[in-house]
Chain A
Amino acid sequence: MQKLPIQRVRDAIEELGEFVRLGVETLGSLRFKRPSWRQFVDQLHFIGVKSQSVVLTTGAATGMVLCAQTYFQFHKVKMDTATGAVVSVGMCSELGPVLAGLMLTGRVGAAMSAELGTMKVTEQIDALRTLATHPVDYLVVPRVLATIVSAPLLTAQSVVVGILASYMIGVHLLGIEGAYYLANMRRYTDPVDVVTGLIKAVVFGIIISLVSCLKGLRCPQGAEGVGRATTESVVAASISILIVNFFLTLFLTRLFHG
């Protein structure tokens, strides 16, 4: 059955409301109950440590193509040495956080919503509640905190690897003068670009973890329900990241340069 556009809008607004409510509950939980250290460390391991290979590969690949493509265009106007600056600014403030965010959504967000969704349909969430434990305290808070810590660190790693990879390609393969490459990179990369990227990563971490937990906790019954919740969480988190990124770019640029 096709939904009417007006219903879709209403659903979307309702979901946004639930997202905000889960965020508020998560904050509230931090006041009531000290988060479980063990849960947090477990999640940090899964979200942070184990995501490195995916995120670093993405960073390296992006740095390499960005460098090559920029060089091909800049070479025409004899600006070869500016390549490093473009790669560095682009990676730090836009590509680094966005691509790391998207990869984390695929790897971590999907796992989170599938795990919580399965717990929901097998009544494990209900069991948790009967055992006098708030699901937000036990499940959501450690995941959100671990993602908030992991996302900026992974982003920073991915940016560094991306820039190193671009240096290898630019200097050793395409023959740009190494010293100029670095000098221009330093000259045009502002600390603000780095800060912008890290702030974005933190925001994306919040989006990924809250959206995935929400979709998991609201999972409809059955194996199909878990599949649907997982897909929806990946789609919703990815789209949110892309949209929010645009507004963050505008806002943070105003804030730092305005």
Chain B
Amino acid sequence: MIEVRDVHKSFGTQAVLRGTTLRIEKGEAVVIIGRSGGGKSILLKHLIGLIRPDSGSVLVDGKDLAKMSERDMLPVRRNFGMLFQMAALFDSLNVLENVGFVLRRERKHTDAEIQRLVAEALEMVELPGTEKKMPAELSGGMRKRVGLARAIVYRPAILLYDEPTTGLDPVASARIDRLIHRVWEELKVTSIAVTHDMKSARTIGRRIVMLHEGRIHADDTMENIFQSTDPILHNFVNGIAAPRTELA
């Protein structure tokens, strides 16, 4: 269970989060939507303690990340997997070492086991046999899928996806969406994804949260969100460029 309580976060004079409150139960599939630059990535990074709030708290299973030291957070983070918007692969390590990173650091598995688990994960993201490649040799979309494999290979209980399908072709996107859905359904993980793509939101989410001007503007089931008459939500979901006055 993750709970965000009245979190404020500013960079310089720019207030990005202004009292965000959100509660996510175990096993949910949540999609976070919102304008570009609206602070979705920042919110996601708060959930795993990469960024500390200026005020407010982030509770993971009752423990306040904002009060923990970096070292105390490490075991908490072991339950998380995160796919970064730009994949953030380690560019000095090859695909095998990237994906098997946690497994190798934990020293619980033999090399052969790690290789098998990594191969399985790569199979799932449809990149079999790419173990020996370096991140620089991969396309943007391939990197993203390797990032996805790295996040799911060690079977975390909570998965955070920052725009998992941006930059992929429609077919690959649809496949990744289905994969994320399958991971959620079969492995019973908590799935939290940020996306701009309403089509993939439908596939991977059960509940939609809209972040607008640093607060949660809407929080409802998929059906209700898509039928909403709220102007901000309606325009966003249907991709209508509203006149400025309406958004203000």
Q: Is A253 part of the contact surface with B, judged by Cβ < 8 Å?
A: no
Chain B residues with CB under 8 Å of A28's CB are 71
**Nearest CB on B from A118, distance (A):** 8
User: Does more than half of chain B's interface fall in helix, strand or loop, or is it mixed?
Assistant: mixed
- How does the 8 Å CB contact mask read for B88-106 relative to A, with 1 for contact and 0 for none? 1111000000000110010
Chain A residues with CB under 8 Å of B39's CB are none
Task: Sort chain A's interface into a size bin.
Answer: 10 to 19
**Nearest CB on B from A132, distance (A):** 4
Count of interface residues, chain B, beta-carbon cutoff 8 Å: 24
- How does the 8 Å CB contact mask read for A21-42 relative to B, with 1 for contact and 0 for none? 0000000100010000000000
| Given A122-B88, A128-B90; 9 other pairs, CB 8 A cutoff | A122-B91, A126-B84, A127-B88, A127-B89, A129-B77, A130-B50, A130-B80, A131-B105, A134-B71
A132 touches B84 (CB 8 A): no
Among B45, B50, B75, B89, the residue within 8 A (CB) of A132 is B75
A32-B69 Cα distance, complex, nearest whole Å: 14
Given A127-B90, A131-B101, A132-B78, residue A32 in contact with residue B71 (CB < 8 A): yes
Chain A residues with CB under 8 Å of B84's CB are 123, 126-127
A126-B90 Cα distance, complex, nearest whole Å: 11
**Nearest CB on B from A211, distance (A):** 20
A132 touches B77 (CB 8 A): yes
Chain A residues with CB under 8 Å of B81's CB are 130
A133 touches B91 (CB 8 A): no
Q: Is B68 part of the contact surface with A, judged by Cβ < 8 Å?
A: no
A129 touches B90 (CB 8 A): no
Among A119, A124, A126, A133, the residue within 8 A (CB) of B50 is A126
What would 30 A/B residue contacts be, using CB atoms closer than 8 Å? A28-B71, A119-B90, A122-B86, A122-B88, A122-B91, A123-B84, A123-B86, A123-B88, A124-B88, A124-B90, A124-B91, A127-B88, A128-B90, A130-B48, A130-B50, A130-B80, A130-B81, A131-B77, A131-B101, A131-B102, A131-B105, A131-B150, A132-B74, A132-B77, A132-B102, A132-B105, A133-B74, A134-B70, A134-B71, A134-B74
Chain A residues with CB under 8 Å of B48's CB are 130
Q: A residues near B, CB below 8 A?
A: 28, 32, 119, 122-124, 126-134
**Nearest CB on A from B80, distance (A):** 6
A126-B41 Cα distance, complex, nearest whole Å: 12
Closest to B75 in A: A132
Chain B residues with CB under 8 Å of A130's CB are 48, 50, 77, 80-82
Chain A residues with CB under 8 Å of B88's CB are 122-124, 126-127
**Highest count of chain A CB atoms <10 Å: which of B82, B88, B102:** B88
Closest to B93 in A: A124
Chain B residues with CB under 8 Å of A127's CB are 82, 84, 88-90
A129 touches B50 (CB 8 A): yes
Closest to B81 in A: A130
Closest to B71 in A: A134
Closest to B77 in A: A132
3 pairs of A and B residues whose beta carbons are closest in the complex: A127-B88, A123-B88, A132-B78
